Every structure is written in C-alpha cells, then in structure tokens.
Homo-oligomer: A and B are copies of this chain.
Amino acid sequence: MIKLLIYEDNPQLREGLSMLISGSDGFEVLAAFKNCENVVDEVEAFNPDVILMDIDMPGVNGLEGLKRIRAVNTNVKILMLTVFDDNKNIFQAISNGANGYILKKTPPAKLLEYIAEAKTGGAPMTASVATQVLKMFSSMNNEKGEDYNLSEREKQVLQLLVDGYSYKMIAGEMFIAIDTVRSHIKKIYEKLHVNSKSEAVAKAFKDKIV
C-alpha cells in the first residue's frame, strides 16, 4: 500500500486526484491540502511514502514546500505536478531534490504508474520534461567555442599562471629565460584582449581554456 499526501490549490483537481488514487488498488490518500503553510508538520504527522506537489500555488508555493520538506526529510518521495514543462521550474525542482516531474495532463493510468515508480526509487518524468532536462544537460557542458588561437607554449604558460606561478617560477618550470616568459605572456594578453595576470586567469576560467 502506497501512502500519499496531495498538495494542490485547485479544489476540483485536488478532489479528482484524491478520488482517482484512493479508488485504485494499492494506493491510499492520507490527506489533501490546498497549500504548503504547514507542510512540515503535516508530513511529519502523516508520514507518507509519496507526495504529489503542485508547483503553482498561492502563498507558499510548491518549490518552497519542496525545500521545507527536504530540510527535515530526505526520505519521502516528492513528485512535482505542473501544467507547464517549463525550464526554470524543472531546474529548480531538480536542484532541490524532487524525485520526479510530471505534467497535470498525464493520463490517470500513467500517473499511478509514476507514483509506483517513485516509491521504488525511480525518477519518473514525462517524456516532454525529460527533453527539457536533456537539453539543459547538454547545453551546460558544451565546450567553449573561442580558443583564441593560443599556441602550445602559450597554453602551457597560461596554465601555469592559472596555477599561481610567478614569472620566475614559470621560467624555472619550463627551462626558459624569464624574458621569454614575458614574451609569451605579452602575446597571451594580446590574444585574450587583457592586460593583467589576474584578468588572464579569470578569462581562462570563464572560457574554459584551462
């Protein structure tokens, strides 16, 4: 028997979900609330397996509710419910430890399936949500385009700068004269359009040159 709590401000949807889930074998709705004001106490009192949490609620919204629960309970599974498969909310929810993210238009049969999956440790999500997640994922570690045409030797010097080496130390490390180090660094500054060591270091991090 999977025990649930529901948070949803729309009365029709709240009742509908409760009826649907309660009427299904193996599911039990412990209670349904219209906001997250007392979410921490309620979760503690009812000790559910899974929580259905609407994102858009007046007052304390679903994301805030999620955070409050996670602050005291990392165990209960939380499925976020929303009408939109919108980027920002998904990201926020994931970062704050939601176990799944499903659309309200999800058909009843699938909803029950998702709840069951969440209970057993899966992270159910609508295919359209998964698309968003994948897009975010691949966009966030895309290698930077600009490479500024640094030569091999210049890249080495820049790496050592980033690692906190002084000119003298770089000269020692690379077995070249300190004036040669200066030459390289002048060239690097030209190519990166900077004019100080720390700017070069900052740019190296920002543009993932190192």
Q: List chain B residues, Cβ under 8 A from A126.
A: 122
Q: List chain B residues, Cβ under 8 A from A65.
A: none
The verdict on A175 contacting chain B, using a C-beta distance below 8 Å, is no
Kindly list the 6 A-B residue pairs having the minimum CB-CB distance in the complex, ordered from nearest: A122-B127, A123-B130, A164-B199, A205-B205, A123-B131, A117-B127
A112 → chain B closest CB, angstroms: 13
A-B contact pairs, 28 of them (CB 8 A): A94-B134, A94-B138, A95-B137, A95-B138, A95-B141, A98-B134, A99-B134, A100-B127, A100-B130, A114-B127, A117-B127, A121-B128, A121-B131, A123-B128, A124-B127, A124-B130, A125-B125, A133-B133, A136-B137, A140-B140, A163-B202, A166-B196, A198-B198, A198-B200, A201-B202, A201-B205, A202-B205, A205-B206
Q: Contact between A122 and B117 (Cβ–Cβ < 8 Å)?
A: no
A109 → chain B closest CB, angstroms: 11
Q: List chain B residues, Cβ under 8 A from A206.
A: 205
A16 → chain B closest CB, angstroms: 24
Q: Which of B138, B198, B200 contacts A161 (CB 8 A)?
A: B198
Q: List chain B residues, Cβ under 8 A from A124.
A: 127, 130
Interface size class of A (residues with CB under 8 A): 35 or more
The verdict on A68 contacting chain B, using a C-beta distance below 8 Å, is no
A136 to B133, alpha carbons, bound, how many Å? 11
A209 → chain B closest CB, angstroms: 12
> A4-40 interface mask toward B, CB cutoff 8 Å, 1 = contact, 0 = none?
0000000000000000000000000000000000000
Most buried by B among A123, A161, A198: A198
A66 to B56, alpha carbons, bound, how many Å? 38
The verdict on A194 contacting chain B, using a C-beta distance below 8 Å, is yes
